[in-house]
Amino acid sequence: MSADQAAEKVQTLMEVLEKIWQDGDSVSLSGFGVLEVKKKNERVSVNPTTGVRMLVPPKLVLTYKPSTILKDKLK
Amino acid sequence: MDKKINLSQLADLMSQAGGMSKAASEQFVKNFFDIISQKVLTDGLVKVKGLGTFKLIQMEDRESVNVNTGERFMIEGHQKISFTPDVELKERVNKPFAAFETVEISAEQADKLAQMGKEPVAAESIVQDESQTVTAEPEKESANDAKPVVKEVTQRRGVRFLLKLIVWILSILLVLVIALYLFWPLIGNRVLERVERNIQIRDKQELVVPQGSPVNVQPADEQPVKEQPVKEIESAEVEQETAEPEIPEPVVTEPAVTEPVVTQPVIKPQTETGETKPAVTLDVRLNSKDAAKDLTEFTEADTVNFAMTGELTVHTLKKGETITRLALRYYGTKKLWPYIVKYNNIKDAGKLQEGARIRIPVLKAK
């Protein structure tokens, strides 16, 4: 496989993954981990120096959780 | 929605999108993620364009406390893999919530929010726990959750706006009240004067219309035309001349328009004058404060500011009319009555009779 072909394939993979995440699905790969979209609730954050309170809106964040197989390889 | 997609499913989707065979795409995806995990372990950092950054992080030893027993124990240093999504991908994933922005809020609102937030948060966490066991958090549900939040924020804004408005109105009112209080000596005196004058005029008019006879009751500047025996008028004239010496009117013996008073036999019964005298003096005293002041002011000032150029018209006096009323009618202000008096050489305005012809001068500002 040439580099160009590889890049092209990576591109299509990214598009597919993005589509999955936008639909709210998660990707689970054995030996690697889980990539999923999680909803973070809105919260009030306080600037410790100024004391200004900010309402941080809720958001959807892509998270990654490594698989236990991968974790075991870590020190 | 809410599905857990494994390697083979991902390979399916890949083959559909990229026109590859399922086996080849499965192999490709497997290799792709294997390389990532290997490289993270060896190099510590893998950056995939369009996906994000995987990073190997070294955690230091740290002391912690067992929540149940209170015992202290060490958490040994370990490595962990962090993942930071690519900015573009992050934004695209967060699209349903992209409309929200971080807003500054007051302490009170924060407290309220904290109280309100408790219940939904608790419910949310349960939902999340469930979803974690089965599938990922549903996106649509979270989008629905967001709607009430928007409503809350807009409502809060509306309330804040209303409060601001009320505060503004109150402060403006306060300023007005203070201003009125400060300038009361200026405005108040003027208002009081006007009210007093109005009351006086009304009193006079009431007196004039029904009676028509008592000459003596009228103040000098408001003398109406009477239909009276000359005797009484004569006596009144004498009285008023003595009572009001401050009128600097040019005293001409024969007023052009008034009835020839001089020709009348001056027979004054002592008793009559005696009776009228006290009444006159009393009234003059009653009105002297304002009327006398006005007289002196107007006669001095008002025959100076305007020049009499020609004759506007000739007015025949009717019952109840006064010189000041003529001034009001022809010049729009009572204050200019001295000009009429001067122009007609009226000796005593209180002595005018019904049917007297008063020439009205044309006034021009000097």
Quickly state the pLDDT bin for B262 (edges 50, 70, 90).
Answer: very low
Does residue B290 belong to any structural domain of this protein?
yes
Does residue B334 belong to any structural domain of this protein?
yes
Residues of chain A found within 8 Å of residue B4, distances taken between Cβ atoms: 25-26, 28
Angstrom distance (rounded) from CA B297 to CA B247 = 10
Q: Which of A9 and B257 is assigned the larger pLDDT?
A: A9
pLDDT at B202: 76
Instruction: Choose the closest CB to B104 out of A17, A26, A53.
Output: A53
Q: Is A68's Cβ below 8 Å from some Cβ in B? A: no
Does residue B115 belong to any structural domain of this protein?
no
pLDDT at B241: 47
Does residue B58 belong to any structural domain of this protein?
no
When the pLDDT of each residue in chain A is averaged and rounded to a whole number, the result is 88
Would you say B52 and B84 are in contact if contact means Cβ atoms under 8 Å apart? yes
- Is the per-residue pLDDT at B260 higher than 60? no
pLDDT at A62: 92
* Nearest one of B137, B3, B48, B130 to A19, comparing CA atoms: B3
Most confident by average pLDDT, A20-29, B183-192, B315-324 = A20-29
Does residue B361 belong to any structural domain of this protein?
yes
- Is the per-residue pLDDT at B134 higher than 90? no
Q: Which of B366 and B337 is assigned the larger pLDDT?
A: B337
pLDDT at B290: 46
pLDDT at B165: 92
Cβ-defined contact of B52 to A42 (cutoff 8 Å)? no
Quickly state the pLDDT bin for B164 (edges 50, 70, 90).
Answer: very high
Quickly state the pLDDT bin for B169 (edges 50, 70, 90).
Answer: very high
- Terminal-to-terminal C-alpha distance of chain B: 96
* Strand intervals (E) in B95-227: 103-105
- Tally of structural domains, chain B: 1
Would you say A58 and A39 are in contact if contact means Cβ atoms under 8 Å apart? yes
Tally C-beta pairs within 8 A across A and B.
176
- Is the per-residue pLDDT at B124 higher than 50? no
* Nearest one of B79, B31, B34 to A32, comparing CA atoms: B34
Does residue B283 belong to any structural domain of this protein?
yes
The CATH topology of domain A3-67 is HU Protein; Chain A (4.10.520)
Angstrom distance (rounded) from CA B49 to CA B199 = 93
Cβ-defined contact of A31 to B137 (cutoff 8 Å)? no
Q: Among A4-13, B163-172, B348-357, whose mean pLDDT is lowest?
A: B348-357
Residues of chain A found within 8 Å of residue B94, distances taken between Cβ atoms: 59-61
Angstrom distance (rounded) from CA B248 to CA B129 = 106
Does residue B24 belong to any structural domain of this protein?
no
Instruction: Choose the closest CB to A58 out of B3, B48, B100.
Output: B100
Percentage helix, strand, coil for chain A under 3-state DSSP, each rounded to 5? 35, 35, 30
pLDDT at B130: 41
Dihedral sign, CA of B37, B38, B41, B46? negative
Does residue B15 belong to any structural domain of this protein?
no
pLDDT at B219: 45
Would you say A37 and B136 are in contact if contact means Cβ atoms under 8 Å apart? yes
Q: In sequence order, what are the residues at sequence separation of 6 or more whose Cβ sits closer than 8 angstroms to the Cβ of residue B300? A: B248
**Across the strands, what pairs with A66?**
A33
Tokens of B2: 């809410």
Average pLDDT over residues B202-218: 53
pLDDT at B174: 93
Buried b or exposed e, range B131-157, using 16+ CB within 10 angstroms: beeebbbbbebbbebbeebeebbeebe
Angstrom distance (rounded) from CA B80 to CA A30 = 18
- Is the per-residue pLDDT at A46 higher than 70? yes
* Chain A nearest C-alpha distance from B65 (Å): 23
pLDDT at B166: 93
Quickly state the pLDDT bin for B3 (edges 50, 70, 90).
Answer: confident
* Chain A nearest C-alpha distance from B47 (Å): 13
pLDDT at B1: 65
- Is the per-residue pLDDT at B135 higher than 60? no
Angstrom distance (rounded) from CA B151 to CA B143 = 13
Can you give the residue ranges of every domain in chain A?
A: 3-67
Quickly state the pLDDT bin for B167 (edges 50, 70, 90).
Answer: very high
**Across the strands, what pairs with B56?**
B81
pLDDT at B249: 47
State what percent of residues in chain B have pLDDT above 90. Answer: 9
User: Tokens 């294997």 correspond to what residue?
Assistant: B34
Owning domain of residue B262: 212-365
